Chains A and B, each alone.
Chain A
Amino acid sequence: METNIIPRKGGFNFDNYKRNLFLEQKGLTLPKVTKTGTTIVGALFKDGVVLGADTRATGGSIVQDKDIIKISYIAPNIYCCGAGTAADTLFTTALISSQLELHRLTTGRQSRFNSAETMLKQLLFRHQGHIGAALILGGYDINGPVLAHIYPHGSSEHHPYITMGSGSLAAVSVLETRWTKNLERQDAIDMVKDAVEAGIFNDLGSGSNVNLVVIEKNKTESLREYSKPTPHHPKNCDYKYKRGTTAILKESIKDLVVVTDGEAMDIS
């Protein structure tokens, strides 16, 4: 408990590592983590960049989350799609976005795409691929619209259109057919939507809805549930149970104090 009482300065904690390694050597298999299983897409158009993602998270063959947000905020002008280990993509992007926020407050300038890209790839390279985050980074800064992908080992490349994740094979066929230079905004949105939908339908790791983010000069638009290609069936039966259906052995009720007199000070 000692380590938990002394406030930690941050960074990873390896206290359980040896124990878990021992368990693994004893023949226990370590549990599966939630994977995004994902189709993520990004494409440049005439005066901006579109990012797109599906919304399914899987653990093995089970859908853990039907509406996960895979396009993370990095800065007002930079967003990032994540594929791979869900926790890694979420924490990595949150960490870098916080560092960039502090940097903006210090310098008073818009964040540069290259800063975000370099910080992400250096973090990933430092951990030698153990942080399982495959990212598509899109943004608009003084150099115009930019799009890059970053692999878990820390390599990155700039391309005009990119797809990653288990649905990338399905999505890339749409991009290769339809991407051209100087696409119109709506054409780019439609193309990215169709590419993600190709992943949703043809890859079992991807599913549910399409989320999009469109980044242009001084304007970022987040389009949640831009397309819902798999509507939910209404139920054919009513499954509300009659009260008293379940047998109870014991009951205890704890009444809570409800403050009705005067207003509490909001200190949040």
Chain B
Amino acid sequence: MSPGSYNGGAVVAMIGKNCVAIASDKRFGVQMQTIGTEFSKVFPVTEKSYVGLPGLTTDTQTLQEIFRFKANMYKLREEREIEPRTLSKLVSSTLYERRWGPYFVHPLVAGLDKNNQPFICAMDLIGCITETCDFVVGGTSEENLFGICESVWEPDLEPEDLFETISQALLCSIDRDCFAGWGAVVHVITPERVITRTLKSRMD
């Protein structure tokens, strides 16, 4: 047992054509026991950038507050919203600062920058950034997500098609992971709107 799989959870982010999507399961558990079914691990930081924080729930919540605070301070100081790439560096340096007493999270950042260019990245628990142009995954269902995303993801998906792809990838992955599941939520971020959908999934 590791702190990273104590509460369980799965988050995935994907790039589409001028859009990004980020999705999470909704289980909150303590080892094998499910405590809550309305706990999404994805949080908005600005209108067009979201951060996913699967991992130990106490750290998920602490970090969510820290990033909200830091992003607000950035906005006050700079008089502009933080860009997703800048946000990823903020997350990364916050984690590396605690190199020898890390938070047990596997953060994902997804968003559109000021030119509406898609950006996604993932990090390990000490802030090593993996930036890709296809998909990133995190949480206890990481392996399941890697496998299915590698096969079903394709470039230049329209927002509605990206929604289907990310939803199918997430739902099938959490079905094979006993620490994640119990509902899922997907955010599709386009230049015009953010579409948030709650998915129907197995509740076991």
Contacts and interface: CB of A to CB of B under 8 A. Distances in A.
Interface stretch (A19-27, A110-118, A136-144, A201-209): A19-27
Interface in A242-263: 242-243, 245-256, 258
A5 B69 contact: yes
B100 A29 contact: no
B66 interface: yes
Contacts of B47: 254, 256
B98 A33 contact: no
B124 interface: yes
Given A14-B100, A255-B193, 18 more contacts: A4-B70, A8-B97, A12-B98, A12-B100, A16-B98, A20-B101, A28-B1, A30-B3, A59-B124, A87-B128, A88-B99, A90-B128, A90-B129, A235-B154, A240-B161, A243-B160, A243-B164, A256-B193
Interface of B: 1-4, 6, 47-48, 65-66, 69-70, 78-80, 83, 96-104, 106, 114, 122, 124-130, 132, 142-143, 146, 151-152, 154, 157, 160-161, 163-165, 167-168, 171, 191-200
A62 interface: yes
A31 B4 contact: yes
A12 B191 CA distance: 38
A28 B6 contact: yes
Interface of A: 1, 4-5, 8, 12-20, 23, 27-31, 33-34, 57, 59, 62, 64-68, 85-88, 90-91, 130-131, 235, 239-243, 245-256, 258, 267-268
Given A241-B164, A252-B196, A16 B103 contact: yes
17 contacts: A1-B69, A4-B69, A14-B101, A17-B100, A28-B6, A87-B124, A87-B127, A91-B96, A235-B151, A239-B152, A241-B164, A243-B160, A246-B167, A246-B199, A249-B198, A252-B196, A267-B80
B67 to A, nearest CB: 10
B128 A34 contact: yes
B115 to A, nearest CB: 10
A237 B167 CA distance: 19
Contact of B1 (A15, A29, A130, A254): A29
Given A20-B101, A256-B192, A251 B197 contact: yes
A86 B197 CA distance: 35
Contacts of B114: 268
B173 to A, nearest CB: 14
Contacts, number: 157
Nearest to A241: B164
A13 B101 contact: yes
Contacts of B100: 12, 14, 17, 130
Nearest to B59: A16
B131 to A, nearest CB: 8
A95 B184 CA distance: 40
Contacts of B2: 28-31
Contacts of A23: 3
Given A239-B151, A239-B152, A267-B80, A16 B124 contact: no
A254 B97 CA distance: 35
B130 A15 contact: no
Contacts of A1: 65-66, 69
A105 B146 CA distance: 45
Contacts of A88: 99
Nearest to A130: B100
B31 to A, nearest CB: 11
B167 A256 contact: no
Contacts of A8: 97
A16 B132 CA distance: 30
B143 A62 contact: yes
B124 A256 contact: no
Contact of B130 (A5, A19, A34): A34
Contact of A253 (B65, B164, B196, B200): B196
Q: Which 3 A-B pairs have the closest CB atoms?
A: A16-B101, A17-B101, A87-B128
Contacts of B125: 31, 33
Contact of B196 (A14, A31, A91, A251): A251
Contacts of B128: 33-34, 57, 85-87, 90
A239 B196 contact: no
Nearest to B148: A239
Contacts of A31: 2-4, 104, 106, 125
